[in-house]
Chain A
Amino acid sequence: MFLPKKLFPAFTAASLLLAVPALAQTPAGVTEAQAPGGLLEALVFYAVAFLVCGSALGVCFSKNIVRMAVWLFVTLGGVAMTYFLLASNFLGAVQLIVYAGGTLVLLVFGVMLTSKSPWARFDVPKLELAAAAAVALTLAVSLCVVLMRTEWHSAEGVVAGATMDQLGKTLLTTYLVPFEVAGVLLMVVMVGAAHLARQEKN
């Protein structure tokens, strides 16, 4: 692991700190300039990108599950910040509330419920790690190459961020069907998860 373990709470704190300028930069998201730029944005972006990538790698290389969960939390926070940077405030909030606040907590519950000692390690053969790293690196390189080569079909530049009003309307009109389906899905999931996790009375 290339980051000292002791530093991870510090990174968490840094992420929260970094969220502030990000939030400040796009106050309501409506009146954003057509071409935001400048040094500030670049700096913020690189900080956030470093946070996201670093913590994602932290997830990769952590040996125990609790650390992984914490790193994931940092990653999710960082992703939320990228949303803010992209002027998608609502999505950033959802990311923080639902993802970091809900899904991650669910996973942590899972961790707690399924390990005798949360610090237990499962070692993986070195060669296997190497193979996985090779696959991941190959993919990373090829994807980067192809993404940088691609010319995107519309280069309209940056557009104004959406308001929650617009999002809500679209969600409940155009995307009404998937919305309802997602609702049904959640209901089914609730039933299924409850069934699986419930203690059977014998």
Chain B
Amino acid sequence: MNSLLGQTNLWEAFDVGRDLFLFSPMIAMVCTMLLIVACPIVIGRGTRTISVAASFGIAVTFFLAWRVMGTVGDAAVSGFSAEPFLGLLVADKLSVGFQLLLMVFLAGVSLLWLMGSARTERNAPEFFILLIGSALGMSLMVSSANLLTMVIAIEMASIPSYAIVGFDKRDRVGAEASLKYMIFGAVCAAIMLYGTSLVYGLVGSLSMTEIAAFTVAQMSGGANVTLLGVALSCVFVGIAFKISAVPFHFWCPDAFQGAKIEVTTWLSVASKAAGLVMLARFMSMMCAAVPSELNMNLLTPLAWVIGVLAAVTATVGNFAAYKQQSVKRMLAYSSIAHAGYMMMATAVFIHPSASGAGAGMSAMLMYIVIYMFMNLCAFGVTAMVSWEAGTDDIEGFNGLIRRSPLLAVPMVIALMSLIGMPPMAGFIGKWWILVALGQTGTLLGWSLVVVASVNTLISLYYYMRIVVQMGIRDSGRRPAFSSPLSGLALVNVCAVVLLVLFFAAGPFKERVAGFSTSLYSVTVTSPVSHESLAVADQEAGQ
């Protein structure tokens, strides 16, 4: 980015009104937080008051995101000057679409919280501020186009998350979970920052486009890229922490088990999704920096690293879920596994061969959407079961099919979807990822297809355990469940959405694919010379 020190009137360089509009959803989130801060002073800190304020804020944010969605075209729209926020933030369909999704999910999680923990919790303002704060962080994560904003966004998303994991101060386990989450997060963030500083030294800038261009130029120029590799690895640690990729997944099961289930729901989807989208943006910028398709194999090592990591992540997640007694923990491991699947898709859109350009990207985005609904559904049911049973152990599901069919049926649908069984949307998600992997036509792609398929087979077991448990008759006849109506509505709507997404997969896919197009329209002025490319080609051929 250009330093604007020499300019006399900085504000003439960009259209402030337009930029404020483009980023209005985030501004709305900030205003919501301020509103919630003001509420206790002006009206009162009752849960009802606060939740009304929060829902109002969420609705406004959703509405604004909807409006912005209509105006951003296919191309990445930048804010403030020719470059978005001077290259710090971008607003494109991807980021705005993610914000829309996030608001839907936020509403679902808030509803869950109001049904559950809110009944004994008196600190609604704090909870909502932290929740919306982390949502803001996630929105920033998907919009950032600069390593500095990326770091700040990750912190913005993480720090409130640490606090809400241990939000209930009477909860020993929650305290322990938040401690572990915080320590692991702080360590990863510190390492990421160290990497960032090295990147700055090498590239002379933190703009992702420039980093990408520099990387590609170095690689094609045959320069020694060791330090760049080290630096980017360190940066990747921070991202991997958010995605909970192996071996940076350790926090995930502990924090998810210890947190209140609403919080687990929130983190298991939103924070991972944001991390994945961020990774996706980074990777697509890399792709965009490679000037011609022929040289895509420059990035092959990168794809292999991410691919192998993804494969390991999926496998570890699935295997570790096996012996879990706590359903929450089992779902935490399953979320690691699913992050692995999504990372696989990220690994391959580094190969935008003519037909498959953006296939991995849109597959991943679709999977995120589907994953959001299936996790909301599964966690919602688990939440209601655990409130009723007083434990989140799998035994709580005993005989659920008789005790509350309206909980059991959505759960079965969600689990089937998580497995990837056909009539649910999860199948479509997996199928599209497999297609994207296969379309690359590379050894990597096909190996990942095999790994993903085998993993689906493995995952069958532990998901089925819940199903079996629900069918098993209880020895003592326990009474029927009395779940809150809104909760039943929530999970059943999610289940229906899972079915609908399956049957309406065509339009759904087209819509999502639109989100990803903007990424590929980013053009990067690359300093790569043609001679160096020729060298790289020769070497790749050898």
Q: Does A187 contact B (CB under 8 A)?
A: yes
Chain B nearest CB from A155 CB (Å) reads 12
Query: Which of B130, B152, B227 is the one whose CB lies under 8 Å from A191?
Result: B130
Stretch at the interface among A51-59, A87-95, A123-131, A177-185: A177-185
Stretch at the interface among A12-20, A23-31, A99-107, A165-173: A165-173
Q: Does A159 contact B (CB under 8 A)?
A: no
Cβ A182 vs Cβ B204 within 8 A: no
List, in ascending order, chain B residues with CB within 8 A of A184's CB.
30, 33, 133, 136, 156
Q: Does B535 contact A (CB under 8 A)?
A: no
From known contacts A146-B226, A177-B88, A187-B33, infer whether A195 and B123 are also in contact, taking CB-CB under 8 Å.
yes
Stretch at the interface among B164-172, B330-338, B379-387, B448-456: B164-172
Chain A nearest CB from B126 CB (Å) reads 4
Cβ B170 vs Cβ A149 within 8 A: no
Q: Does A154 contact B (CB under 8 A)?
A: yes
Chain A nearest CB from B112 CB (Å) reads 20
Query: Which of A147, A150, A178, A195 is the one whose CB lies under 8 Å from B149?
Result: A178
Q: Does A118 contact B (CB under 8 A)?
A: no
Interface flags, A53-75, vs B, CB<8A=1, else 0: 00000000000000000000000
A74 CA / B1 CA spacing, docked (Å): 36
Stretch at the interface among B3-11, B400-408, B492-500: B3-11
Cβ A170 vs Cβ B156 within 8 A: no
Interface flags, B129-153, vs A, CB<8A=1, else 0: 1100100110010000000110011
B interface vs A, CB < 8 Å?
1, 3-5, 10, 30, 33, 37, 80, 85-86, 88-89, 123, 125-126, 129-130, 133, 136-137, 140, 148-149, 152-153, 155-156, 159-160, 162-164, 166-167, 169-170, 201-204, 224, 226-227, 230
Cβ A185 vs Cβ B156 within 8 A: yes
CB closest chain-B residue, reference A181: B152
List, in ascending order, chain B residues with CB within 8 A of A178's CB.
88, 148-149, 152
List, in ascending order, chain A residues with CB within 8 A of B164's CB.
192
Cβ B160 vs Cβ A192 within 8 A: yes
Within 8 A of B (CB), among A134-177: 142-143, 146-147, 149-150, 152-154, 166, 169-170, 173-175, 177
Can you sample 10 A-B contacts with CB below 8 Å?
A: A146-B227, A150-B202, A152-B201, A169-B5, A177-B89, A188-B33, A192-B133, A192-B163, A195-B163, A196-B166
List, in ascending order, chain B residues with CB within 8 A of A150's CB.
202, 224, 226-227
Instruction: State the 6 A-B residue pairs at the shortest beta-carbon distance, nearest first.
Output: A192-B163, A188-B133, A195-B126, A150-B227, A173-B10, A191-B129
From known contacts A174-B1, A178-B148, A184-B133, infer whether A149 and B226 are also in contact, taking CB-CB under 8 Å.
yes
A154 CA / B205 CA spacing, docked (Å): 12
Cβ A191 vs Cβ B226 within 8 A: no
Chain B nearest CB from A30 CB (Å) reads 15
List, in ascending order, chain B residues with CB within 8 A of A181's CB.
140, 149, 152-153, 156
From known contacts A143-B230, A177-B85, A185-B156, infer whether A166 and B5 are also in contact, taking CB-CB under 8 Å.
yes
From known contacts A170-B3, A181-B152, A191-B130, infer whether A200 and B159 are also in contact, taking CB-CB under 8 Å.
no
From known contacts A174-B86, A184-B30, A187-B33, infer whether A200 and B4 are also in contact, taking CB-CB under 8 Å.
no
From known contacts A146-B227, A178-B88, A196-B169, infer whether A185 and B4 are also in contact, taking CB-CB under 8 Å.
no
List, in ascending order, chain B residues with CB within 8 A of A98's CB.
none
List, in ascending order, chain B residues with CB within 8 A of A187's CB.
33, 37
Chain A nearest CB from B238 CB (Å) reads 16
A193 CA / B178 CA spacing, docked (Å): 13
List, in ascending order, chain A residues with CB within 8 A of B1's CB.
174
List, in ascending order, chain B residues with CB within 8 A of A177's CB.
80, 85, 88-89, 149
Chain A nearest CB from B261 CB (Å) reads 20
- Tally chain A residues at the interface, Cβ within 8 Å: 31
CB closest chain-B residue, reference A199: B169
Q: Does A40 contact B (CB under 8 A)?
A: no
Q: Does A189 contact B (CB under 8 A)?
A: yes
Cβ B169 vs Cβ A192 within 8 A: no
Cβ B130 vs Cβ A192 within 8 A: yes
A143 CA / B89 CA spacing, docked (Å): 32
A93 CA / B202 CA spacing, docked (Å): 27
A193 CA / B162 CA spacing, docked (Å): 10
A73 CA / B275 CA spacing, docked (Å): 35
Chain A nearest CB from B99 CB (Å) reads 15
From known contacts A152-B201, A196-B163, A200-B169, infer whether A188 and B130 are also in contact, taking CB-CB under 8 Å.
yes
Cβ B3 vs Cβ A185 within 8 A: no
Chain A nearest CB from B149 CB (Å) reads 6
List, in ascending order, chain B residues with CB within 8 A of A173's CB.
4, 10
Chain B nearest CB from A183 CB (Å) reads 9
A170 CA / B86 CA spacing, docked (Å): 12
A192 CA / B160 CA spacing, docked (Å): 7
A189 CA / B152 CA spacing, docked (Å): 13
From known contacts A174-B86, A181-B152, infer whether A192 and B159 are also in contact, taking CB-CB under 8 Å.
yes
A152 CA / B130 CA spacing, docked (Å): 42
A194 CA / B40 CA spacing, docked (Å): 15
Chain B nearest CB from A166 CB (Å) reads 6
Query: Which of B152, B201, B204 is the one whose CB lies under 8 Å from A185?
Result: B152
A153 CA / B200 CA spacing, docked (Å): 11
A185 CA / B33 CA spacing, docked (Å): 11
CB closest chain-A residue, reference B122: A200
Best-surrounded residue of A152, A169, A193, A195 (most CB of chain B within 10 A): A195
List, in ascending order, chain A residues with CB within 8 A of B86's CB.
174
Cβ B153 vs Cβ A195 within 8 A: no
CB closest chain-A residue, reference B214: A153
Query: Which of A142, A143, A154, A189 is the one whose CB lies under 8 Å from B159?
Result: A189
Cβ B37 vs Cβ A191 within 8 A: yes
Further pairs besides A152-B201, A191-B130: 10, Cβ < 8 Å: A146-B230, A150-B227, A177-B88, A178-B152, A188-B159, A191-B129, A193-B163, A195-B126, A195-B130, A196-B169
Chain A nearest CB from B137 CB (Å) reads 8
Query: Which of A152, A170, A195, A196 is the one whose CB lies under 8 Å from B5?
Result: A170
List, in ascending order, chain B residues with CB within 8 A of A142's CB.
230
A11 CA / B12 CA spacing, docked (Å): 52
Best-surrounded residue of A147, A153, A188 (most CB of chain B within 10 A): A188
From known contacts A174-B4, A196-B166, infer whether A188 and B201 are also in contact, taking CB-CB under 8 Å.
no
A143 CA / B202 CA spacing, docked (Å): 14
Chain B nearest CB from A144 CB (Å) reads 11
